[in-house]
């Protein structure tokens, strides 16, 4: 009876397994090749990632243990070096105090044992000697009795399992001149953050494996419900559109990017249907786009036919050649171009037309540079490109692109001017410094101390000249940046007196009288003290530079009232202090007064009779603008110059 029941149970289990296997085969055969590949790929990736995770965690454990062992060895060797002299001197009280202090100050140490040369425990912490004898075996100590081993001072590292927690046990002999003084036994706690549990490693690896499968399953489900179905619908719709059925529409309730794609598809189908019904010419649309593009580009653009008549011209070209208010469409371009432009442009246009009609030569692009010199100075870069038919054999027109390069040319001139100034200002002092230093080096024995000091003083002066040059460039760069400078109540009188004291000796050497005229009870102004000093130093330095001997320089300050008015508001009187620096120097012409504050400008630029880079007045202008003011100039040739500006009184803000 029992055997019959067992047979029946086995038969049922067998049938159940057959049914499961049959269902699995049917399920697998129904799966598409894409799904099978995805499943195999997921299995491989999950196994690979789980293996990498397991291998990484295992390596981290091993590396951490290795680091702990090295740390323990280093710590034990350090302690052994410190206690060996104490043990040799038999200063046991100091030895106990040192070991106790070392144990209490190092949290990673579990215990410290000191054995004497006979293998008896001399001192232990935190265990008593009796407890230490019961807990620790001295088999390692007996190994150390090997003469070849303990003289090498190599630590023995163990991992005892009779103490709670993972500990690194290190035994090191204490020797002095091939004499064994004792043995140091130190226990160090392993890194508490180390993942020592192999079970945790397995759990993390399994979790990675399961997580990958869950993400793939969720992604597949999301893909099936939100992407696959609408893509199939779109594919069907595209096939219908390709076959000419522009009535095809897709109606699926999807939002986001997929909804936008479906909406765009329906819109495209609607437009194609409308284009089919209305038979709109493509050329009209393309022409409108081209006209819009040409009218909005920053460069000037002109389109000519093969008879050089204007077909299209944009706003930039009209402004460049002064064609405002003129209807030049359909007119020959040479009738409206300025004379100096015609002289340079017409030969090129004529050459392009001649080569295409007479020589059948396809000139694609030519470039010329046109400079206007009469009414105003401008420089244009003109590109001429031939427009050919669809066979690239017949000239249909010429496209002209005009790029205004005036600013680039001016910047290039300024750059060349700056390079010329700086190269001169660098070359002269460097030559002087080198000459005097070479003289000192080669003839130091034949020169007396006075001559040596004079040569060094000249070299030092030239070094200061180079420093001023570099500082001017850096100052201008900093002032032209967006850096904010704090403005506060500033004693202008103090700044003036400090600056005048600095230049008084230079003025005396040049036999120039330097005067100051300061109004009594002058209030403090709103400004930056160091920047005010820089303004005064630059202006007085310039006056000294351009004023001849027996000349006069006057620095004058006084209060003024400045009225300002805004729309629908009464005028407001703001009290200011005016600063004037006047001299009887060479003066500045009207032409140069308009550009004297430009960067790198020197009036005697080609002569270089005076020092400087042309940055001083540009720095002054930038500083005064930082003080919400402007600098003004009045000057006459051979009569002198007067620079003045106004600063706001501090109490009025």
HSE-up of 506 (CA within 13 Å, CB side)? 15
Q: Please, what is the Cα angle at 487 between 481 and 490, to 5 degrees?
A: 135
Residues 284-319 as b/e (b if ≥16 CB within 10 A, e otherwise) read eeeeeeeeeebeeeebbbbbbebebbbebbbebbbe
How does pLDDT run across 119-166, given as a tens digit for each residue?
777 778 887 766 666 665 544 444 445 545 555 566 777 666 555 557
Domains, in order of start, for the chain? 59-189 (3.30.450.20), 198-278 (no CATH), 285-404 (3.30.450.20), 410-473 (1.10.287.130), 484-652 (3.30.565.10)
Alpha helices in 224-320 (DSSP H): 229-242, 256-278, 282-296, 315-320
pLDDT of 555 higher than 90 = yes
C-alpha dist (Å) from residue 152 to 73, 145, 175, 365, 650:
14, 12, 9, 86, 81
pLDDT of 513 higher than 90 = yes
pLDDT of 316 higher than 70 = yes
Mean pLDDT, rounded, of the chain: 76
Predicted local confidence at residue 405, as pLDDT: 80
How does pLDDT run across 243-278, given as a tens digit for each residue?
767 667 776 666 666 677 777 777 777 777 777 666
Q: Choose between 225 and 400: higher pLDDT.
A: 400
Decide: residue 641, CB within 10 A, 0-12 exposed, 13-18 middle, 19+ buried.
buried
Strand 156-158 and strand 300-305: the pairing is unpaired
> Do 648 and 624 form a contact (C-beta atoms < 8 A)?
no
Predicted local confidence at residue 320, as pLDDT: 79
Predicted local confidence at residue 632, as pLDDT: 92
Predicted local confidence at residue 553, as pLDDT: 94
pLDDT of 455 higher than 70 = yes
With pLDDT > 70 as the criterion, what percentage of the chain qualifies?
A: 72
Q: 115: closest CA among 189, 188, 186?
A: 186
* pLDDT tier at 195, thresholds 50, 70, 90: very low
Predicted local confidence at residue 547, as pLDDT: 92
How does pLDDT run across 344-398, given as a tens digit for each residue?
888 888 888 777 776 666 666 788 888 776 666 778 888 888 888 777 777 888 8
Distance of alpha carbon 527 from alpha carbon 254, whole angstroms: 64
How does pLDDT run across 212-230, given as a tens digit for each residue?
778 877 777 666 666 666 7
- Long-range CB pairs of 145-149 (<8 Å, 24+ gap) are 145/180, 149/173
DSSP 484-538: ----EEE-HHHHHHHHHHHHHHHHHHTT-EEEEEE-TTPPPEEE-HHHHHHHHHH
How much is the pTM?
Answer: 0.40
Among 346-350, 448-452, 481-485, the least confident range: 481-485
Predicted local confidence at residue 607, as pLDDT: 39
Distance of alpha carbon 495 from alpha carbon 647, whole angstroms: 13
Predicted local confidence at residue 132, as pLDDT: 64
pLDDT of 99 higher than 80 = yes
Average pLDDT, integer, range 402-419: 74
Distance of alpha carbon 586 from alpha carbon 439, whole angstroms: 37
Among 387-391, 452-456, 485-489, 512-516, the least confident range: 387-391
Predicted local confidence at residue 199, as pLDDT: 63
Average pLDDT, integer, range 433-462: 81
> Do 396 and 308 form a contact (C-beta atoms < 8 A)?
no
Strand 109-116 and strand 180-189: the pairing is antiparallel
> Do 600 and 613 form a contact (C-beta atoms < 8 A)?
yes
Q: Which helix (H) or strand (E) holds 636?
A: strand 631-636
Residues in the chain: 653
Distance of alpha carbon 540 from alpha carbon 532, whole angstroms: 12
pLDDT of 55 higher than 90 = no
């Amino acid at each position: 009876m029992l055997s019959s029941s067992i047979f029946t149970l086995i038969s049922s289990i067998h049938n159940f397994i057959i049914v499961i296997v049959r269902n699995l085969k049917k399920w697998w055969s129904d799966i598409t090749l894409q799904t099978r590949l995805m499943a195999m790929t997921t299995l491989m990736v999950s196994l690979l990632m789980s293996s990498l995770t397991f291998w990484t965690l295992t390596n981290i454990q091993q590396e951490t243990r290795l680091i702990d062992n090295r740390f323990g060895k280093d710590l034990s060797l350090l302690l052994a070096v410190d206690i060996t002299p104490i043990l040799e001197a038999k200063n046991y009280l100091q030895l106990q105090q040192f070991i106790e202090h070392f144990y209490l100050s190092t949290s990673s140490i579990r215990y410290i044992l000191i054995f004497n040369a006979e293998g008896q425990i001399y001192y232990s912490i935190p265990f008593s000697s009796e407890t230490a004898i019961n807990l620790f075996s001295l088999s390692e100590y007996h190994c150390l009795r090997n003469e070849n081993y303990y003289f090498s001072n190599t630590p023995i590292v163990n991992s005892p399992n009779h103490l709670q927690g993972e500990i690194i046990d290190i035994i090191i002999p204490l020797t002095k001149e091939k004499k064994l003084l004792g043995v140091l036994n130190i226990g160090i706690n392993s890194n508490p953050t180390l993942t020592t549990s192999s079970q945790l490693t397995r759990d993390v690896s399994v979790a990675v494996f399961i997580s990958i499968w869950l993400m793939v399953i969720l992604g597949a489900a999301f893909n099936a419900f939100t992407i696959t179905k609408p893509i199939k619908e779109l594919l069907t719709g595209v096939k219908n559109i390709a076959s000419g059925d522009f009535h095809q529409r897709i109606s699926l309730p999807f939002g986001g990017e997929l909804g936008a794609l479906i909406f765009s598809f329906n819109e495209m189908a609607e437009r194609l249907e409308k284009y089919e019904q209305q038979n709109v010419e493509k050329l009209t649309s393309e022409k409108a786009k081209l006209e819009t593009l040409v009218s909005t580009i920053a460069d000037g653009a002109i389109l000519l036919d093969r008879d050089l008549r204007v077909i299209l011209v944009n706003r930039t070209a009209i402004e460049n050649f002064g064609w405002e208010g003129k209807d030049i469409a359909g007119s020959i371009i040479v009738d409206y171009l300025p004379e100096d432009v015609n002289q340079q442009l017409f030969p090129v246009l004529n050459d392009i037309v001649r080569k295409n009609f007479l020589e059948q030569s396809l000139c694609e692009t030519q470039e010329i540079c046109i400079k206007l010199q009469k009414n105003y100075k401008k420089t244009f870069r003109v590109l001429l490109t031939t427009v050919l038919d669809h066979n690239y054999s017949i000239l249909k027109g010429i496209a002209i692109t005009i790029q205004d390069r005036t600013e680039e040319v001016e910047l290039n001139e300024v750059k060349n001017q700056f390079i010329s100034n700086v190269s001169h200002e660098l070359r002269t002092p460097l030559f002087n410094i080198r000459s005097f230093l070479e003289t000192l080096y080669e003839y130091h024995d034949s020169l007396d101390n006075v001559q040596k000091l004079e040569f060094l003083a000249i070299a030092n002066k030239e070094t200061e000249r180079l420093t001023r040059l570099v500082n001017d460039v850096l100052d201008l760069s900093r002032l032209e940046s967006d850096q904010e400078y704090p403005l506060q109540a500033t004693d202008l009188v103090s700044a003036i007196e400090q600056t005048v004291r600095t230049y008084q000796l230079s003025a005396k050497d040049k036999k120039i009288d330097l005067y100051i005229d300061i109004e009594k009870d002058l209030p403090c102004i709103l400004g930056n003290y160091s920047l005010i000093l820089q303004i005064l130093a630059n202006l007085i330095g310039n006056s000294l530079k351009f004023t001849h001997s027996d000349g006069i320089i006057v620095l004058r300050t006084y209060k003024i009232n400045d009225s300002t008015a805004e729309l629908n508001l009464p005028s407001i009187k703001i009290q200011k202090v005016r600063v004037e620096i006047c001299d009887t120097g060479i003066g500045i012409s009207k032409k140069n007064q308009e550009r004297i504050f430009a960067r790198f400008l020197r009036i005697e630029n080609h002569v270089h009779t005076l020092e400087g880079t042309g940055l001083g007045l540009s720095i002054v202008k930038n500083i005064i603008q930082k003080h919400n003011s402007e600098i003004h100039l009045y000057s006459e040739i051979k009569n002198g110059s007067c620079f003045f500006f106004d600063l706001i009184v501090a109490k009025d803000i």
